[in-house]
Amino acid sequence: MSAVLSVKDLTVRFSTPEGEVKAVSNVTLEVNKGECLGIVGESGSGKSQLFIAIMGLLADNGTVEGSAKFGDTELLNIPAKQLNKIRGERMAMIFQDPMTCLTPHIKISRQLTEVLVKHKGMSETDARQRALEILDLVRIPEAAKRMDLYPHEFSGGMRQRVMIAMGLLCEPELLIADEPSTALDVTVQAQILDILNDLKNDLGTAIVMITHDLGVVAGICDRVAVMYAGEFAETGSVQNIFYDPQHPYTKGLLRSMPRLDQLTDENLYTIPGQPPNLQRLPEGCKFQERCVYALDECLVDDPALTSIGEGRQKACHRKGFDSQGELIT
Amino acid sequence: MSETILSIKDLKVYFPMTADGGGLFPKKVDLKAVDGVSFDLKDGETLGIVGESGCGKSTLGRAILQLIKPTAGNVVWLGDDLAALKKREMREKRKDLQIIFQDPLASLNPRMTIGDIIAEPLRSFFPSMSKLERKEKVEAMMANVGLLPQMINRYPHEFSGGQCQRIGVARAMILEPKLIICDEPVSALDVSIQAQIVNLLKELQAKYNLSLIFISHDLSVVRHISHRVLVLYLGNVMEIADRNDIYDNPRHPYTQALISAAPIPDPDLEKSKTRMLIEGDLPSPMAPPSGCVFRTRCPKAAEICAGEKPPLESNGNGTHKVACYFAD
């Protein structure tokens, strides 16, 4: 398998009136063809900023260091003109809120054909035909009739499907989906995830799924990276992460999710404390204040992300957990 | 859990709207947000109300509290019909009826300290209470909901989302009400914080014998906190039952679709399960389908479904009621 995207030591910083904030620190990852990588984390964990930086969409006060290669092309800090040849055509991003990402006063048809005319040099008629095919693919009913409507005339689920269609127009090799189904109802979410699964299996599109919903990750991802306070806490196959989590944060997240298929009358497990404030991160391990297994060394020494076999990595001083989920001492 | 304290009978909330088109004399139509909902709530019980966006679940919650005037129907609270009460009489009842909102920060006044926010209900209902007594009550309630009493003089923006929701809970609890309507109280919170708030609500319920109406689109959270669950679709009750009945043996096609669509954090289960996909989107509540409102998306729909609306009925077991001609 060849890596579609390989990121090395990527760091994102923002300068704010209160000082510098490190939103992402030293992240290294690879995404392969036909694979779905899940990026899981709470709000403020840096999961979105990581890919916004890779797409070259950082806000003005943000800077990025490190390397992100698309195939053999370095993406970071290259001129927008060069980036635009890849962005939109070979890699695309879909965002959480479909209403704010579509231009309200331009018809859907024009918003879709624009990409094709620009990137592929298609004629307006060909582009229209292709746009129609894609709208059918994402299951917009009566697409031919609906094409010439404005975004506000679509429902939330349909708008999100239009966003996905837009991302798919040029058949990108990499699709970055930032919480694509969070704003949608469960029945519509199921439809969208179905479409993404088909893409991965039929066209071999590499997908990055950024989400906080572990249920969504379980359904679609092959590998998972768990982010906390701008760093990867643990990475591994979806089976490893869900059935044998080795980082206390991953374990806590999984245990604190109420499950539809299980009933306990006991209280839900909770991770104590609040999500981290990036401006006031603790010394040592970023998770130590909320970690029930913290050691003395965790308070001073930030654990590095190290390989623990089976293609897995974790950033924790503890030895991990055994097959019963008990701490190994 | 014994006596019925709240009884909703055929509650309807219609919003008058102007239809598109029609030129100089546009047609007036009603948006039927809640269309004939009935249920009972017992003392100390939690009723979960689930449904997708636009199904009328928030409107229903607000109509119970008379924050929106119901168009028709009764809201009987401990023997009194709230919909028929005068404003002043209703105000007295509000001591027992409180609400928690979805957006924790937006529901707190940014210019008030959290101490003032939590004390506000005391100030309006017990104006003669001394300042000292009020402060003591506020501090005790803050400790109850897991806030440090020394934070009393801080402002909402200094708190994280989860803490803001605790402030909202403290404000609702300060009068020691009998019923709290929780309108998506954990939807805006991170996973690790959701569990904290759910546990807090359960603790307070046990301590104060509270009744809760828990409105949410998240079926997993609802299963965890509710005793009974009501499924709403386009302003109509599709199914109502004890939580285990509804999750283990859903009888309405819509409930079945909802449950099969909700993702479970378990890769093997999730990748092998067959989803029951329902096509399309919610119809407009301004022009709901005739008969059963779900029939346009229902895999079982037949001719009969377009006629009379199917009644909400139980088969034998009195607590599990379904509104469907083809219920399993």
Segments making up each domain of chain B, as ranges:
4-96+177-192+201-322, 108-176
User: pTM score, two decimals?
Assistant: 0.88
**Arithmetic mean of pLDDT over chain B:** 91
Q: Say yes or no for a CB contact (<8 Å) between B265 and A242.
A: yes
**What's the pLDDT band for B1 if we cut at 50, 70, 90?**
very low
Residues 104-143 of B with CB under 8 A from A: none
Q: Say yes or no for a CB contact (<8 Å) between B280 and A194.
A: no
Q: Say yes or no for a CB contact (<8 Å) between A189 and B263.
A: yes
Secondary structure of chain B in the HEC alphabet? CCCEEEEEEEEEEEEEEECCCCCCCCCEEEEEEEEEEEEEEECCCEEEEECCCCCCHHHHHHHHCCCCCCCEEEEEECCEEHHHCCHHHHHHHCCCEEEECCCCCCCCCCCCCHHHHHHHHHHHHCCCCCHHHHHHHHHHHHHHCCCCHHHCCCCHHHCCHHHHHHHHHHHHHCCCCCEEEEECCCCCCCHHHHHHHHHHHHHHHHHHCCEEEEEECCHHHHHHHCCEEEEEECCEEEEEEEHHHHHHCCCCHHHHHHHHHCCCCCHHHHHHCCCCCCCCCCCCCCCCCCCCCCHHHCCCCCHHHHCCCCCCEECCCCCCEECCCCCC
Contact call for residues B234 and B305 (beta carbons, < 8 A): no
- State the CB neighbour count (10 A cutoff) for residue A130: 18
Nearest beta carbon to residue A42 from set B191, B259, B260:
B191
Whole-number Cα distances in Å, A147 to A88, A134, A156, A159, B280: 20, 11, 16, 12, 17
Q: Say yes or no for a CB contact (<8 Å) between A194 and B277.
A: yes
CATH fold of B4-96+177-192+201-322: Rossmann fold (3.40.50)
Is the CB of residue A263 less than 8 Å away from at least one CB of chain B? yes
Distance from CA of B327 to the nearest CA of A (A): 20
Q: Say yes or no for a CB contact (<8 Å) between A214 and B191.
A: yes
Q: Which residues of chain A have pLDDT under 50?
A: none
Distance from CA of B198 to the nearest CA of A (A): 8
Cβ-Cβ contacts under 8 Å for B311 (sequence gap 6 or more): B323
Q: What are phi and psi of B35, to 5 degrees?
A: -130, 75
Predicted local distance difference test score (pLDDT) of residue B189: 86
Nearest beta carbon to residue B265 from set A188, A214, A275:
A214
Q: What is the CATH number of the domain that holds A78?
A: 3.40.50.300
Distance from CA of A166 to the nearest CA of B (A): 20
Q: Which domain holds residue A307?
A: 3-97+172-314
Domain count, chain A: 1
> How do residues B178-213 score in pLDDT, each as one tens digit?
999 999 999 888 888 899 999 999 999 999 999 999
Predicted local distance difference test score (pLDDT) of residue A247: 95
**Which residue from B252, B233, B245 is spatially nearest to B323, judged by alpha carbons?**
B252
Per-residue tokens: B246: 């509804």
* ipTM greater than cut 0.90: no
- Give the separation between CA A94 and CA A174, rounded to whole angstroms: 11
Instruction: Tell me if A27 is assigned to some domain.
Output: yes
Lookup result for tokens 């088909």: A198
Lookup result for tokens 């959701």: B194
Distance from CA of B51 to the nearest CA of A (A): 9
* B13 pLDDT above the threshold of 60: yes
Nearest beta carbon to residue B195 from set A186, A219, A256:
A256
**What's the pLDDT band for B53 if we cut at 50, 70, 90?**
confident
State what percent of residues in chain B have pLDDT above 90. 75
Predicted local distance difference test score (pLDDT) of residue B178: 96
* B177 pLDDT above the threshold of 90: yes
Is the CB of residue A190 less than 8 Å away from at least one CB of chain B? yes
Predicted local distance difference test score (pLDDT) of residue B102: 86
Cβ-Cβ contacts under 8 Å for B120 (sequence gap 6 or more): B112, B171
Residue type at B197 in one-letter notation: I
- A to B CB pairs, distance under 8 Å: 135
Q: Say yes or no for a CB contact (<8 Å) between B263 and A270.
A: no
Q: Say yes or no for a CB contact (<8 Å) between A258 and B261.
A: no
Distance from CA of B223 to the nearest CA of A (A): 7
Per-residue tokens: A321: 């957990």
Residue type at A5 in one-letter notation: L
Secondary structure of B299-316 in the HEC alphabet? CCCCHHHHCCCCCCEECC
Strands (E), chain A: 3-16, 19-32, 36-40, 62-70, 73-74, 91-94, 174-178, 206-211, 223-228, 231-237, 306-307, 313-314
- Counting every residue written for chain B, the total comes to 328
* Contact residues on chain A for B265, CB-CB shorter than 8 A: 214-215, 217-218, 242, 254, 257, 259
* Contact residues on chain B for A277, CB-CB shorter than 8 A: 160
Q: Which residue of B has its CA nearest to A240?
A: B267
- Among B163, B202, B224, B252, the strongest candidate for a mutation testing the A interface, having the largest count of A CBs within 10 A, is B224
DSSP β-ladder status, B236-242 and B72-77: unpaired
- Among A260, A277, A291, the strongest candidate for a mutation testing the B interface, having the largest count of B CBs within 10 A, is A260
- State the CB neighbour count (10 A cutoff) for residue A78: 12
Is the CB of residue A150 less than 8 Å away from at least one CB of chain B? no
- Give the separation between CA B211 and CA B4, rounded to whole angstroms: 10
Instruction: Tell me if A139 is assigned to some domain.
Output: no
- Give the separation between CA A212 and CA A207, rounded to whole angstroms: 16
Is the CB of residue B264 less than 8 Å away from at least one CB of chain A? yes
Predicted local distance difference test score (pLDDT) of residue A168: 84
- State the CB neighbour count (10 A cutoff) for residue B237: 24
Instruction: Tell me if A109 is assigned to some domain.
Output: no
Q: Say yes or no for a CB contact (<8 Å) between A256 and B192.
A: yes
DSSP β-ladder status, B72-77 and B80-81: antiparallel
- Among B191, B242, B252, B294, the strongest candidate for a mutation testing the A interface, having the largest count of A CBs within 10 A, is B191
* Contact residues on chain B for A157, CB-CB shorter than 8 A: 281
Q: Say yes or no for a CB contact (<8 Å) between B162 and A258.
A: no
What are residue B16's DSSP bridge partners?
A: B30
Instruction: Tell me if A136 is assigned to some domain.
Output: no
Residue B266 CB-half CA count within 13 A: 12
> How do residues B258-288 score in pLDDT, each as one tens digit?
999 888 999 998 888 887 878 777 788 888 8
Q: Which residue of B has its CA nearest to A220?
A: B271
**What's the pLDDT band for B21 if we cut at 50, 70, 90?**
low
Instruction: Tell me if A126 is assigned to some domain.
Output: no
Per-residue tokens: B196: 């904290």
Is the CB of residue B271 less than 8 Å away from at least one CB of chain A? yes
Q: Say yes or no for a CB contact (<8 Å) between A270 and B266.
A: no
> How do residues A37-79 score in pLDDT, each as one tens digit?
999 998 889 999 999 999 999 999 999 999 999 999 999 988 9
Interval B28-49 mean pLDDT: 93
Instruction: Tell me if A269 is assigned to some domain.
Output: yes
**Which residue from B233, B235, B283 is spatially nearest to B258, judged by alpha carbons?**
B233
